[in-house]
Chains A and B, each alone.
Chain A
Amino acid sequence: MQLIMPVLLVVIFILAAAVTVTKKLLPAVIIFMFYGLVMSAIWLLLESPDLAITEASVGAGISSILFFVTLRRLKEIDPEKNDGQDVPGGSGGASGKGGDSA
């Protein structure tokens, strides 16, 4: 059972790096939703079922709903500027993720 924990932690690192590198906003929010789900599984492995159910419903559910509603709201105000594309004005990601020393 303890072999699953390093695998899940590696998946979490890959997801956090993927959020940094992604240029568009909608895939970044979907990856963040999946990050919340894997974090909920890690908490189940650490024997805290209260945290797992709360993170699954609040983190992967409500927080992601708020992000999606914000993205919809950002596109609504200027409908003639972006026709089906992503939000204007800088969708560039960060240029470094830092922290991966050594």
Chain B
Amino acid sequence: MEQKNHENKERTVSGYIIYRLACIVFVALFVSVMLFMVSGLPEFASQQGPVSSEVSYKYLKDTVTDTGAVNAVAGMILDYRAFDTLGETCVLYAALICVLLLLGHTRLKYSKAAAGYMPGRIDLSRESNPLKDDDILKVSMRVLFPVIVLYGICVVMNGHISPGGGFSGGAVLSGAFILYANAYGEEAAEKIIGRKLYTALTAGAIGCYCLIKSAAFFMGANGIEDPFPKGIPGTLISGGVIPLLNICIGIVVACTVYGIFLLFMKGGFRE
């Protein structure tokens, strides 16, 4: 067995240097070909580039009248191209489910399957490490937690009149919950968001997004008058359904990131 390992290592060492040199040559060739193609592009920040085409012209001209949102990017991704945002939310879901499949097993206290792989290395009698509370973080969280949550809600709600939107606001909200779980321990965090509420929020928010946007498509296709007011552009109550969609996406992103964090730390919720 020792001999075989030594032989294997020797075989990999001799082909190793050729492999690494070939990789460096390949990367250098690739980059030079791409640089040659970059030289054929129009100049940076020029006015006659092919991107200044009719599509962006229409988006900039008609955003305020069609959607009511002042932020052209938010109007584009939540009204004209709302399917892309739905697909992106599904990618988040797929990542959460994959991480749940891979790391959910540690809830079973270093299960016997893992101990079978690495005999003698995993101590079955050791409790999996729960999240404990921390005194320094507790003192600072008394001040910081409401501020972070307020900032996250502000970024989410103002997605249609200023830069921001659902994704960045959801990330900020998830940061607040991660800090809370680290400061007060896992039992206090489970009192705020437990397993049932988490499942309801995560599944319900994407369902709400689909329902609201399908209703908007249906009403638009059949010529029914839109019940959500476009409002005065530039105020908070404007933009039709875009603030509601922003809230749904913010909830989805916050819950997904918080769930992935809990899965990495201790394998999920207590049960």
Q: Do A and B come from one complex?
A: yes
Cβ–Cβ contact B264 & A73, under 8 A = yes
B261 at interface, CB cutoff 8 A: yes
B73 at interface, CB cutoff 8 A: yes
Closest residue of A by beta carbon distance from B110: A77
Question: B163 to chain A: which residues have CB within 8 Å?
Answer: 49-50, 52-53
Question: A73 to chain B: which residues have CB within 8 Å?
Answer: 264-265
B144 at interface, CB cutoff 8 A: no
Cβ–Cβ contact B264 & A66, under 8 A = yes
With contacts A53-B164, A53-B168, A96-B24 known, is A61 near B175, CB below 8 A? yes
Cβ–Cβ contact A96 & B20, under 8 A = yes
Cβ–Cβ contact B168 & A98, under 8 A = no
Interface bits B107-149 vs A (CB < 8 Å: 1, else 0) = 0000000000000011000000100000000000000000000
B60 at interface, CB cutoff 8 A: no
A7 to chain B, nearest CB (A): 17
B178 at interface, CB cutoff 8 A: yes
How many interface contacts (CB-CB < 8 Å) are there between A and B? 63
Closest residue of B by beta carbon distance from A57: B171
B167 at interface, CB cutoff 8 A: yes
B174 at interface, CB cutoff 8 A: yes
| Contact among A49, A54, A69 with B264 in the assembled complex (CB-CB below 8 Å) | A69
Question: B residues engaging A (CB < 8 A)?
Answer: 20, 23-24, 27-28, 31-32, 71, 73-74, 121-122, 129, 155, 163-165, 167-168, 171-172, 174-175, 178, 257, 260-261, 264-265
Cβ–Cβ contact A98 & B265, under 8 A = no
CA A67 to CA B71, docked complex, whole Å? 33
A76 to chain B, nearest CB (A): 6
Cβ–Cβ contact B178 & A101, under 8 A = no
Question: B178 to chain A: which residues have CB within 8 Å?
Answer: 65
| Contact among A54, A70, A98 with B24 in the assembled complex (CB-CB below 8 Å) | A98
Question: B28 to chain A: which residues have CB within 8 Å?
Answer: 98-99, 101
Residues of chain A in range 52-79 having any CB-CB distance to chain B below 8 Å: 52-54, 56-58, 61-62, 65-66, 69-70, 72-73, 76-78
Count how many chain A residues have C-beta atoms less than 8 Å from C-beta atoms of the other chain: 24
Question: A99 to chain B: which residues have CB within 8 Å?
Answer: 27-28, 31
CA A54 to CA B163, docked complex, whole Å? 9
B39 to chain A, nearest CB (A): 13
Question: B74 to chain A: which residues have CB within 8 Å?
Answer: 50
Question: A49 to chain B: which residues have CB within 8 Å?
Answer: 163
- What are the 7 tightest A-B residue pairs by CB atom distance, in nearest-first order? A98-B27, A49-B163, A57-B171, A69-B264, A99-B31, A96-B24, A54-B168
Question: B164 to chain A: which residues have CB within 8 Å?
Answer: 50, 53
Question: A50 to chain B: which residues have CB within 8 Å?
Answer: 71, 73-74, 163-165, 168
A-B contact pairs, 25 of them (CB 8 A): A50-B71, A50-B73, A50-B163, A52-B163, A53-B155, A53-B164, A54-B167, A54-B168, A54-B171, A57-B171, A61-B175, A65-B175, A65-B261, A66-B261, A69-B261, A69-B265, A70-B264, A72-B265, A73-B265, A76-B129, A77-B122, A95-B20, A96-B23, A96-B24, A99-B28
With contacts A65-B261, A73-B264, A77-B122 known, is A58 near B168, CB below 8 A? yes
